[in-house]
Structure 1
Amino acid sequence: MSSKKDKLIAEAQRYALRGQLDKAVKAYEQVVALDPSAINQRQRLAELLVKAGRIDNARNEFEEIGKYYTTNGYYLKAIAVYKKLQVMFPGDMDITLKLAELNEKHGLAANALAEYKQVYDYHEKNGNSDAALSVLEKMHAVDQQNVGIMLKLAEAYCQAGNRDESYDIFSRLATLLQERGDSAGLGRLNSRIQQLFPEKNGFMLDVLAGQVRGDAASTLGAVGALQTMLKSTPDDRRIWELVIEAYQRLDQPERVRIAYQHCIRFFSDEVSVQKGLLECLIAEKDLQEAISLLDRYEQNFIDKDALGDLRDIYRSLELVDPINMRVILGLKRTLTALGDGEGAAALNHKIDSLQTFSDSHAAVRTTDAAAGGMQPGVPSAESDGADQELELSLGEPETVGMEPSAAEPVAFDFSEPPELEVEIEIDEDSGPFAALSPDAAVPGVAEEAWLEAVEDVFDAAAGSERSVKFGSEVEITDAQSHYDLGVAFKEMGLFDEALNEFRQAADDPLRRVACLVLQGTCLREKGALEAAETVLRDLLRGELAVEDSCSVKYELALVCEAAGKSEEAASLLAEIDVAQPGFRDVRSRLDASGNKLSLDFSDEDLRGFDL
């Protein structure tokens, strides 16, 4: 027995077929009142309200449907509903913003950016700078490697007085351009930074510092840029520090040592550089070279009040050679100077034990050296001439232990071993950045010219898709999502939107035929019969599987029928019936048309006839 709901639905359908919209609407209203979760019936009610001209009431129903789909995670269906609302109310930014958020949730970045861009343009045009900035932040969250959006956001932050946020975005943008090898764009960006942040004279080093502290690939990229900078400014200590840090992070101790050997030529009296080189030699267990350099550097450690560092060096040397009298005595002197009498006294037993095994001449020299206390720069009981030589050596560039080629820092080998190289291939989406005039960011050129160029870059970037490839893996647009969204749009009667989604989904070779057929369907539904016929006939010219060929011919038959080409439509249906009997409703359509080409009876059809 039919329920009250079923009776009301049947009644509503009868009224709708007769064109009695008001009565149909009332019947559907009773249906949804009985069952608020009857989404299909609510959608039918909304569509009838639109036909009846009750737009506001229709909006309420569509919004209820959209909320239901969103709450239950049916984002594609929700997107289709809100897209319908957007068509009905194109100036309502709340609807467009909701669309953007739904596309973002479903991972449709390009669609989300396009919707966000509409909202941004609206607020920008109406002078709502705070709201526009908020939308830019949302766009950046969707695609954090979009050059145009980053550039626009950095400028917007600066104009809003958020200088720290602006500089941070500019820095990250510079890092991105550096990684992509866009030296021209990086140069223009650097010029703009100098205009906006004249106090940030180390901008590029800030960028490279962040890159050094990234992953291995990022660090390697930074080393190449640092090498270039060293060729022009080899006496910039911070560049050397970043080079050394990069090789330390890459776990390349030999390259760290070589970098220190070059660096010390320019900063021969810097304790940190001397200590770094000594630590490298100690790590390599090159005790002889380490002690030789320590004889030169010890006085500088004392003069610079770096006794703690000196103690650490001696401790490290002691671990490598625990019975080296030169090391032990140096450690004792350092501990004494630091006021660590207990630590110095603890070494006496060790010194006495070693002296027992020394010849009388060595014992005398050791006793004299120990009795002399802390003699700055005196590694052993040598003549005053040796002290003088040590003082002079501290004022000269360090060459001990260097290869002949190391005398020229600009020839420093920054090439990376093959096993560390990480292939990164990035599709160029920084191309729009080239639209910025080389002179647009140069001081003296009007600010408006630069900002207009930024706007052009932003417009281009916000409306384009981007894919980034890392090695063999490709991050591509989700073809399944675009296909499903196209189906949802088609069901809502949004044929233009559906066409756009099917075109994007057609990039997937596995879906190409299905997407082209559906494009033909959408064109037919919107009355573009000639265009639909062209798409489908072109598709038939290729090699298709039987199932695909039948699908194309079926849709082409519907197009021909709508265009008044009944005979060709019947012929196509007959071809399908022969190739794949039972395909969809082909047989019933042929029977209805009475086409003679369909009179090919099977044995089952002829059973019971006396033939």
Structure 2
Amino acid sequence: MASKEKLLLSAQKNLKKRLLPRAIKDFAKVVDIDPNDMRSRQKLAELYAKTGKSTEAFEQYETVAKYFSGNGFYLKAIAIYRQMQRLDPSQITIFARLAELNEKQGLIGNAMAEYRQLVSYYEKEGQTADVIRILEKMQDVDPENLNIQVKLAEVYSASGRQQEGREYFDAALKVLQDKQNHDKILQLYAKFLPLFSNDDELRRGLAETLIEKGQMEKALGLLQSLLREQPEDPVLLEMLATTYRGLDDLNNCRLTYQQLLKKQPNNLDLRTELVRCCLDSDHFEQALQELEEWKEAFQKQDRLAELQTFYESLKQALPDNRTVVNTLDSIYRLTGDGDPLLNVMETEGIEETAPEPQDDVFDALLDTASEDLEDDAYIDLGELEGVAEEGAIELEELDGEEGSTVEVAEEELVELELSDLVDIDGDEPFDLAVELEEIDESDAPLLNPPQDLEEAEFYLQQGLYDEAEKVCRAILAVSPDDADCQAKLQEVQSRREGSESDSDASNALHDLAVEVLDDDFADFVASGLEAGNTDKAGAFDDLLDSSDDGPIFRTDVDDQIAADDMESHYNLGIAYREMGLFDDAVSEFNKAQSDPARFVDCQTLKGLCYVDKGDFEKGEEAFRAALASTTIDEGQRLSLYYELGALYEAFQHPQEALASYRFVADADPEFRDIAEKVARLSQGDDSASTNSSASKDRISFL
């Protein structure tokens, strides 16, 4: 031990004389005698570094770092590894060690920063497997970080692992959808559409997001392109109807709902939307027809309030329509709302047919089927049996002078039997319902060309020219002289010829999906996929930029350390300062100052770091920030004025130094050596002002 003590004394003397090579020899002998003397070994490493012997310095630092980390002194180990990192930035293993140590210490933000450096390095080197390995570690450390999920999705997808990439994409998308952050959802689609170029679900999701964001024109173009591949898809058609409604294109909205109802005729929600479109676009007769046919369904689903609202709108539009009044009167009787309308009709001069007594009020609602509507497509036997009776009643009202006509009519009525209407052969009982079911509907002629022409118009508006032409030719097969249909067919052919030059683009839905995004999103996609974009460490922190409403994605380390242990950051800052790593120390104090109880101390230590660096302005700024704190106590205030006086004195500002010292002396004349400092500066003795190097050795209250 005596030999070790002598060597240490010799080393100190050589250091004072700036004989660094001799001091190195002394410390090298000390560590040979006592390999566990980490203080001497660390000093030896510092001397090697100062004399340019980086390899030897790195070796000694590594021994010290492993010792500290192995014995649980993580903060000291982190400080040593940081020194090694400054000494040789190319040692990529140091980033991994720093990340692990910060994670063990609970400094998650610092750990993530180191991992990002690793990701950036491996991306530059094209080492995809290592990129994924580090990202998965980051995911384990911070499983709620969406940036990591997005980055994993991108790397997996780009490396051919589409299924895994899609899982991470879906997870990130769900979080954003739950938050209804449509801006970031659009950015997410912009980034991944190039990676999933054949994924219709992504393009549908993009269209839905555009609708929710109110960008209807863009949504319309994308939906129409998707419909060219799947023209009967009900989900796309519903989105299309919503888009037309958002564009206030009520006619196309109406046509779209008509198309939907051909595939889902019993969907009352769709029919309700169709009725709304009809009313809003002044297609009142069509609205009435739909409601009369489906009013029973409204009642069964307990939606009479909706039905009442619709008929009240129709009554305003068609005040003299007997069907509207009769049905609305029945609704009022069922709901108890409004006044009976049939009594009012007499005073308004509206022709009324007296209702027959009914046991159930709802029977009235069913019996108001409008005589104005077209007959059903099937034959009702009950109606056939009542033909003779109805005809006889009408004949009794004729004058006698038309007797001959009456006789003929009566004879015809007497002979009119069901067998005259339907030719029944054989002995088997005749089942009309069965016979009708056997009719092939595809062979039946179109009974409503105007309505089918609207279907052609719908297809035309969506650019579905083949479907539109097919409908037109089917109409012309029944009505070859239909001028409207001929004109529509000509329009279809003309529009098709004009679109042939763009046929290649119509097959590239991926290109269109990217085009509908704003230019800045498209630029974002392009720049994000460039290899050179990884030059910036941790470039994927800003995969999805933050908005003024508050970031969904945490985009820098400061945001991520919000839940870190502030005491660990504070202590690490002190360890960095002791090693002369002033910038790193300031960074840790900036994080630790988030704890209000440590704000004043952190500002003071930052000021001392700036003094040690010789940065007068930043040092003064840090001290002033601490003095302005509302949490400062009197003892801290006096200490800060003392440090501020020392700062002014070190940088040759004697008057400001004297003012600061006098503030301390007036409050506590016994404070440290304040009396001596005030006396000296008061006499104008500037020769004793300490320089910056001396200030490092003074004892601070901290």
Which TM class, normalised by the smaller chain length? 0.5 to 0.7
Partner of 1:564: 652
> CA separation in 1, counterparts of 2:629 and 2:177?
45
Partner of 2:571: 484
Give the conservation status (yes or no) of the 8 Å contact 2:599–2:626.
no
SS of aligned partner of 1:564: coil
How large is the RMSD of aligned CA atoms in angstroms?
Answer: 4.2
Structure 1 residues 556 and 101: CA distance shift in structure 2, 3 A: same
**3-state secondary structure, aligned to 1:32:** helix
Structure 1 residues 460 and 72, CA, compared in 2 at 3 Å: closer, same or farther? same
Residue by residue over 1:155-178, the C-alpha shift from the partner in whole angstroms, topping out at 9 and shown as x without a partner, is: 111121222321221121122212
From 525, 545, 556, give the equivalent of 1:450: 525
Unaligned residue ranges in structure 1 (runs of 5+):
207-231, 237-264, 267-436, 469-473, 598-611
Q: TM-score normalized by structure 2? A: 0.46
Structure 1 residues 191 and 510: CA distance shift in structure 2, 3 A: closer
User: How far apart, CA to CA, are the structure 2 residues paired with 1:76 and 1:23?
Assistant: 31
Partner amino acid for 2:650?
A: A
Alignment of 1:13-412 (within 5 A): 13-186=12-185, 189=188, 196=195
Do the aligned partners of residues 34 and 588 (structure 1) sit closer, same or farther apart at CA in structure 2, a change above 3 Å counting? farther
Partner in structure 2 of residue 552 of structure 1: 640
Larger radius of gyration: 2
1:562–1:149 Cα change, 3 Å = same
2:546 is equivalent to residue 464 of structure 1:
no
Secondary structure of 1:512's counterpart equals helix
Take 1:441 and 1:83, find their aligned partners in 2: how far apart are those partners? 47
Question: Is 1:486–1:499's contact at 8 Å kept on the other side of the alignment?
Answer: yes
- Distance in 2, Cα, partners of 1:83 & 1:438: 49
With over 3 angstroms needed to count, the CA separation of the structure-2 counterparts of 1:568 and 1:102, relative to structure 1, is: same
User: Are residues 6 and 180 of structure 1, via their aligned partners in 2, closer, same or farther at CA, if it must alter by over 3 Å?
Assistant: farther
Q: Distance in 2 between matches of 1:120 and 1:197?
A: 23
Contact 2:48 2:57 in 1 (8 A): yes
Letter in 2 for 1:106: Q
Structure 2 residue ranges without an equivalent (≥5): 206-233, 239-265, 268-510, 544-553, 685-702
- What's the offset of the Cα at 1:497? 1.2
- The answer to whether the 8 A contact 2:147-2:541 is kept is yes
* Residue 510 of structure 1: how far off its partner (Å): 0.8
Report the CA distance shift for 1:534/1:475 in structure 2 as closer, same or farther (over 3 A): closer
Deviation track 1:275-333 (CA, whole Å, cap 9, x = no partner) reads xxxxxxxxxxxxxxxxxxxxxxxxxxxxxxxxxxxxxxxxxxxxxxxxxxxxxxxxxxx
In the other structure, the counterpart of 1:372 is: none
Amino acid at match of 2:573: G
Q: Shift in Å at residue 521 of structure 1? A: 0.3
Given candidates 595, 610, 613, the residue that maps to 1:526 is 613
Task: Give the Cα separation in 2 of the matches to 1:152 and 1:571.
Answer: 56
What secondary structure is seen at the aligned counterpart in 1 of 2:614?
A: coil
Task: Please give the alpha-carbon distance, in whole angstroms, between the structure 2 residues aligned to 1:122 and 1:464.
Answer: 18
Change (3 A) 1:588 1:88: farther
Does the 8 A contact of 2:79 with 2:575 survive in 1?
Answer: yes
More divergent stretch after superposition (458-467 vs 123-132): 458-467
User: Residue type matched to 1:171 in 2?
Assistant: D
Among residues 574, 580, 590, which one is paired with 1:503 in the alignment? 590
State the secondary structure of the residue aligned to 1:137.
helix
Secondary structure of 1:166's partner? helix
Contact 1:192 1:441 in 2 (8 A): no
In 1, are the aligned partners of 2:664 and 2:674 still within 8 Å (CA)? no
Q: State how far apart, in whole Å, the 2-side matches of 1:530 and 1:50 are.
A: 30
Percent identity (aligned) = 33
Deviations 1:213-240 (A, max 9, x none): xxxxxxxxxxxxxxxxxxx85999xxxx
Which whole-Å CA distance do the structure 2 matches of 1:157 and 1:131 have between them? 12
Counterpart of 1:464 in structure 2: which amino acid? D
* TM-score (norm. length: structure 1): 0.53
Asked whether the equivalents of residues 665 and 675 of structure 2 are also in contact (C-alpha less than 8 Å), the reply is: no
Cα distance, 1:193–1:567 mapped onto 2, change above 3 Å: closer
Partner residue in 2 for 1:279: none
CA offsets per residue over residues 349-382 of structure 1, 9 Å max, x none? xxxxxxxxxxxxxxxxxxxxxxxxxxxxxxxxxx
2-structure distance, mates of 1:453, 1:439: 17
Q: Within 1, Cα distance between the matches of 2:650 and 2:115?
A: 39
Q: What is the SS of the residue equivalent to 1:97? A: helix
Q: Measure, in 1, the Cα distance between the counterparts of 2:565 and 2:515.
A: 38
Distance of 1:122 and 1:194 partners within structure 2: 26
Distance change (3 Å), C-alpha of 1:182 and 1:204: farther
Give the aligned residue type for 2:556. S
Tell me which amino acid in the other structure corresponds to 1:524. V
SS of corresponding position for 2:563: coil
| In 2, Cα distance between equivalents of 1:438 and 1:563 | 65
Amino acid at match of 1:458: F
How far, CA to CA, are the matches of 1:463 and 1:191 in structure 2?
18
